[in-house]
A and B are shown apart, each in its own frame.
Chain A
Amino acid sequence: MSTEELATMKADKTVDARGTSCPGPLLAAKKAIGEIQKGQVMEVLSADEGTRRDIPKWCKKKGFEYLGTVEESGFFKIFLRK
């Protein structure tokens, strides 16, 4: 997905994990994924560089679709589809 597409993407659920460090954002994503339906989009906000790398790998292992990451000022918006 292109950066432009991601920038305008409306997520069905937003997980703001900017206050935690690794593995906090990943665990927050794990908890929240149970609250959305298959096909819905979730965005994870994280200030943690490790999480940016972890979420795509986690998606692959768990069978979710990693859509991409938008870099904001001081944090990342990481998008995935259940």
Chain B
Amino acid sequence: MANKKLTIALFSGSVDKLTAAGVILGGAAAEDMDVEIFVLLQAAFAFKKENAMTNDRVAEITDKKDDFLASLKRLNTPHWTEAFKTAKEMTNVNIHICGFAGKVWHGEKLDDFIDLADDICGIGEYMTAAEESDINLFI
């Protein structure tokens, strides 16, 4: 039986939403899903090498940011980059940086982004992947 396909349009560069994406990726990995992630605008900021580990912005309930970040530590929640890496090790996950998004954040080459990124692509690839997937999420 062919693996189910999950496509994620990952727009957010905030650690709360990236953490949620990491949890969903864990679920996908447990079920051997094939995953295509398209790193769009603000997410491309978080995927820049100099930002990935230092980015502690949250998108929602911003007045409770410190409590949120402390709870992630208390619950031994892996950093989102770790969660993404684990999913990549356990199932077929391809991570594409949107070329436009990269340029917005002054990233022209794949090497400007963390090693999790597999290539730089255009939006056409996202449309094709979304058409072919069983689940398509915008985060």
- Residues on A close to B: CB < 8 A? 19-24, 26-27, 29-31, 58, 61-62
Contact = CB atoms under 8 A, between A and B. Distances in A.
Interface of B: 23, 26-27, 29-31, 75-78, 86, 90
A27 B90 contact: yes
A21 B76 contact: yes
B136 to A, nearest CB: 20
Instruction: Say what secondary structure dominates the interface of chain B.
Output: helix
A29 B90 CA distance: 12
A61 B1 CA distance: 12
Contacts of A21: 75-77
Nearest to B28: A23
Nearest to A55: B30
Contacts of A61: 31
16 contacts: A20-B76, A21-B75, A21-B76, A22-B26, A24-B26, A24-B76, A24-B78, A26-B30, A27-B26, A27-B29, A27-B90, A30-B29, A31-B90, A58-B30, A58-B31, A62-B31
